[in-house]
Amino acid sequence: MTRERHFSPVDRLLLQADAALRTLLPFSGQPSRPSPAIVQPESELNAEQTQHIAGLMRINHTGEVCAQALYQGQALTAKLPHVRKAMEHAADEEIDHLAWCEQRIRQLGSQPSVLNPLFYGLSFGVGAAAGLISDKVSLGFVAATEDQVVKHLDEHLQQLPAQDQKSRAILEQMRDDEEQHASSALQAGGLRFPAPVKFGMSLLAKVMTTTTYRL
Tens-digit pLDDT profile for residues 55-81: 999 999 998 888 888 888 877 776 667
Sign, CA dihedral 82-174-200-24, equals: positive
Q: Does residue 29 lie within any of the structural domains?
A: no
Q: Considering its fold, how many domains does the chain have in total?
A: 1
Q: Does residue 2 lie within any of the structural domains?
A: no
CATH number of the domain enclosing 113: 1.20.1260.10
Is the pLDDT at 4 greater than 60, yes or no?
no
Q: Does residue 206 lie within any of the structural domains?
A: yes
Q: Does residue 28 lie within any of the structural domains?
A: no
Q: Does residue 102 lie within any of the structural domains?
A: yes
- CB-based contact 106:166 (threshold 8 Å): no
SS3 at position 22: helix
| pLDDT score recorded for residue 73 | 81
Q: Of the given ranges (14-23, 54-63, 94-103), which has the lowest mean pLDDT? A: 14-23
21-47 pLDDT, tens per residue? 667 666 666 788 899 999 999 888 999
Q: Does residue 34 lie within any of the structural domains?
A: no
What pLDDT band is residue 3 in, cutting at 50, 70 and 90?
very low
How far, in Å, are 34, 38, 157, 191 from residue 196 at the CA level? 38, 41, 27, 14
State the binding site for Fe cation.
Answer: 64, 94, 97, 146, 178, 181
Range of the domain at 119: 47-213
Q: How many helices (H) and strands (E) does the chain have?
A: 7, 0
Rounded CA gap, 147 and 199, in Å?
12
- CB-based contact 15:87 (threshold 8 Å): no
- CB-based contact 138:74 (threshold 8 Å): yes
Predicted TM-score of the model (pTM): 0.83
Q: Does residue 22 lie within any of the structural domains?
A: no
115-167 pLDDT, tens per residue? 999 988 888 888 888 878 887 887 888 888 888 888 889 999 999 999 999 99
Q: Which residues contact 77 (CB under 8 A, 6 or more apart)?
A: 127, 128, 129, 130, 131, 132, 138
| pLDDT score recorded for residue 214 | 86
State the binding site.
Answer: 64, 94, 97, 146, 178, 181
Q: Does residue 9 lie within any of the structural domains?
A: no
Instruction: Identify the DSSP state of 32.
Output: S
Mean pLDDT of the chain: 82
